[in-house]
Structure formats: structure tokens, C-alpha cells
């Protein structure tokens, strides 16, 4: 573990990590969204190690991270005008663009697809690492496949210790949910995964952009309908069984407290995922708040950390409040519903 200054990363530490990347090693590093598990995107053997370390399903392609907008032209064979517009507006930032890939990109990085996911992160440590490595860096979130994404270096260690070569530790990530993934190879462009760049902001730049039907889904959709291979895998899941209760806050609280009594009667240890406005309304073994309903950025920032904390408390059941699926809230609800394996209850 290498501790680095988040805003002015020490160059000698970045060089150590960059050498590992150049030699085909695996380095976990912070981005503004979550920690990524980085490898040289152009080295098939290195990318293969990423799949092995994470136990990632072999049909789930990896996002390629760049430090210079011009690098898109090497990795993609076509950059539509709308993609250029989004990149100039939102890069560096939590936005991933799917484009037609060039022949430079090894098959394994994109699991044999004709497309590539590219993003330029807004994080000084990530940008320094990519620049110093002199190669684009393929990096999925640095968690074991299926687990909540890591927003701190400790989360990476908990999941991947002994399986990777280094972690650059720059403290907690700012945003806390992953990048928004937009498919620019179709018309109109399609959001495949909501994330750190809200849909409303994309729409203000490109007004025909649409949400894929799985993005806001409260029920699992058939795999055939999933455009992004990652959509069909279980995600973000804590060890505990999880239920989401959505609806008006006061009705949600009543319904959730009712569920607590039922589970407690069955001898279960129950954890509640609440908000600041409601946390004192619950009686349960563990009650945690994600933050105020008025500050969805704080809720997003705390989401994955709190899911991991509930697992450490050893609860059998997690019951979580839904929040409005607007702005960053869409990404939060997308992750919560998947974490709960679409076990969603509507309260009134």
C-alpha cells in the first residue's frame, strides 16, 4: 500500500506504480468515483490477470482510462460528433463513452466486442499514473466480482489482498458511485449505466440521449434485453439478504419497521439503511444513515462504504429506504436495487 497525496501525488510513488503497470502488473488506484484495478490495457496478459484477481466473469468488458483526450483517436475507430461534445463537456469526469474500437485494442480488454468503453477520470492520482505509465489503463472497480465497489483503499485490501501488486491510497473517493456509461455507437445514444454524471446533465448537452430500460428498472429484466454485458451479473451485493422499500418517507418507515419485527421474530439480526431525516424512527439491531435526503451527493458518497459496514456488523438482513431516482439518485437507486437482487417493495 502506497499512501499518496490526493491533490499533489508524490511523483516517486507514482513512478513505482507506473513501473508495475509497464511490467504487466496490477495496481489499484483512486478515481473520483471508486477505486479501479488497473493494468496496461494494451497488454493481454496483464488484462487477463485483472479478470483472475477479481474473479470477473469473462464476458464482462473493462473500461479503458486515458489521461489525454487525444488518446481516444488511437483506441476508437470512429468518434461521432455527439461523443466529442460530451467528452469536451464532461472529461475529465465520471462519464464513460462506448465507441467503435480500433485494432490497437486487444480482444481480451473488450471481451471480443467491436466496441470499447473509454473514460478520462477527474483525479490527480489516476491521471498521473496513466501519464507516467505511458499507456491507457484498463480498470474495472477494484472489488471482488459481485461485491460493493471500493470507495477506500481499505476496501480494496479487504477484497484483493495478495492478488494484486500495489494499492495507491489517496483516501476516500469523492463521488462514491461509478461513472455513467453511454453507448455512442447507437442512435439515439443510450445510457447503459447511470452514474456520477446525471442523465439530466447529459440531456442538456445532447437532447436525444435516452435511458436504457434496465437503468431505472425495479424488476430484473431478461438477459437478452441487456446491451451491456455487465448488466446481467449480480452486483454490489452485501452478504446479507437485502430488501428495498420505496415510496413516501413516512409510509416507508412504517413498512420497514413492520418488516424488522417480522425478521426479529424469526431470530434474524436486522440492519436498517436509513437517512438522517428518518434514522431515529427505527428500532433495530443496527441502524445506519446514508446522509440527509436533501444531499444526494452525500448519500452517493456513503453508499458502498455503508453496505460494507453492515456486512461487518454481521447482520442477516438489510432493509433499505429508497430515495427519489432523480439526478445522482438514479445511480443510487440503480445500485441499491441490484444490491438487493431486485427485492423491491412499494410502500403505498
Q: Which residues bind ligand TXA (CB under 6 A)?
A: 31, 33-34, 36, 60-63, 94, 96, 98, 110, 113, 115-117, 121, 139-141, 178-179, 181, 192-193, 228-230
Q: Is 236 helix (H, G, I), strand (E, B) or coil?
A: coil
Picked from ligand TXA, Mg ion, none, the partner binding residue 193 (CB below 5 to 8 A depending on kind) is ligand TXA
| Cα separation values, 282 from 9, 263, 299, Å | 43, 14, 18
Report which DSSP code applies to 58: T
Residue 140 or 271 with smaller CB distance to ligand TXA: 140
278 binding partner (options Mg ion, ligand TXA, none; Cβ < 5 to 8 Å by kind): none
Shortest distance (Å) from residue 149 CB to Mg ion: 5
Q: Which is nearer to Mg ion, 141 or 173 (CB)?
A: 141
Please state whether beta strands 137-138 and 36-40 pair in parallel, antiparallel, or not at all (unpaired): antiparallel
Q: Which residues bind Mg ion (CB under 5 A)?
A: 141
Contacts of 12 (CB under 8 A, 6+ apart): none
What are the Cα distances from residue 99, in Å, to 110, 175, 307? 11, 25, 33
Q: Among Mg ion, ligand TXA, none, what binds residue 159 when CB lies within 5 to 8 Å by partner kind?
A: none
Pick between residue 59 and residue 313 the one whose CB is nearest to ligand TXA. Answer: 59
Give min distance, CB of 104 to ligand TXA, in A.
Answer: 15
Smallest distance from ligand TXA to CB 165, Å: 17
Residue 200 belongs to what H/E stretch? Answer: helix 199-205
Residue 94 vs 322, nearer CB to ligand TXA: 94
- Closest residue to ligand TXA, judged by C-beta, is 230
Prior bond to 92 cis, omega within 30? yes
Q: Which residue has the cell 472489488?
A: 143
Can you tell me the distance from the alpha carbon of 56 to that of 60, in angstroms, rounded to the nearest whole number?
7
Cell numbers representing residue 123 in the block: 483525479
CB of 236 to Mg ion, least distance (A): 8
Residue number, 82 or 253, with CB nearest to ligand TXA: 82
Amino acid at each position: 500500500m502506497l499512501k499518496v497525496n490526493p491533490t499533489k501525488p508524490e511523483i516517486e510513488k507514482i513512478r513505482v506504480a507506473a513501473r508495475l503497470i509497464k511490467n504487466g502488473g496490477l495496481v489499484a488506484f483512486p478515481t473520483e468515483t471508486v477505486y479501479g484495478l488497473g493494468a496496461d490495457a494494451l497488454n493481454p496478459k496483464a488484462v487477463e490477470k485483472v479478470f483472475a484477481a477479481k474473479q470477473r466473469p469473462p464476458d464482462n468488458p473493462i473500461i479503458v482510462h486515458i489521461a489525454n483526450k487525444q488518446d481516444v483517436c488511437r483506441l476508437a475507430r470512429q468518434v461521432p460528433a455527439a461523443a466529442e461534445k460530451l467528452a469536451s463537456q464532461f472529461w475529465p469526469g465520471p462519464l464513460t463513452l462506448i465507441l467503435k474500437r480500433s485494432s490497437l485494442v486487444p480482444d481480451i480488454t473488450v471481451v471480443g466486442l467491436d466496441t470499447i468503453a473509454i473514460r478520462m477520470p477527474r483525479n490527480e492520482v489516476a491521471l498521473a499514473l496513466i501519464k507516467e505509465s505511458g499507456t491507457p489503463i484498463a480498470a474495472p472497480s477494484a472489488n471482488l466480482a459481485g461485491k460493493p465497489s471500493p470507495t477506500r483503499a481499505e476496501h480494496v485490501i479487504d477484497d484483493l489482498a495478495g492478488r494484486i501488486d500495489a494499492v495507491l491510497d489517496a483516501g476516500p473517493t469523492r463521488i462514491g458511485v461509478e461513472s455513467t456509461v453511454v453507448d455512442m455507437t447507437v442512435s439515439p445514444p443510450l445510457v447503459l449505466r447511470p452514474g456520477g454524471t446525471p442523465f439530466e446533465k447529459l440531456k442538456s448537452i445532447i437532447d436525444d440521449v435516452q435511458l436504457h430500460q434496465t437503468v431505472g428498472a425495479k424488476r430484473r429484466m431478461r438477459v437478452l434485453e441487456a446491451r451491456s454485458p455487465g448488466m446481467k451479473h449480480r452486483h454490489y451485493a452485501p452478504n446479507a439478504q437485502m430488501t428495498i422499500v420505496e415510496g413516501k418517507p413516512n409510509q416507508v418507515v412504517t413498512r420497514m419497521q413492520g418488516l424488522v419485527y417480522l425478521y426479529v421474530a424469526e431470530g434474524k439480526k436486522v440492519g436498517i439503511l436509513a437517512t438522517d431525516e428518518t434514522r431515529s424512527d427505527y428500532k433495530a439491531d443496527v441502524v445506519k444513515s446514508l446522509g440527509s435526503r436533501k444531499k444526494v451527493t452525500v448519500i452517493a458518497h456513503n453508499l458502498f462504504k455503508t453496505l460494507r459496514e453492515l456486512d461487518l456488523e454481521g447482520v442477516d438482513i438489510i432493509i433499505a429506504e429508497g430515495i427519489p431516482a432523480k439526478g445522482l439518485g438514479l445511480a443510487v437507486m440503480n445500485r441499491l436495487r441490484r444490491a438487493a437482487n431486485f427485492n423491491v417493495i412499494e410502500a403505498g
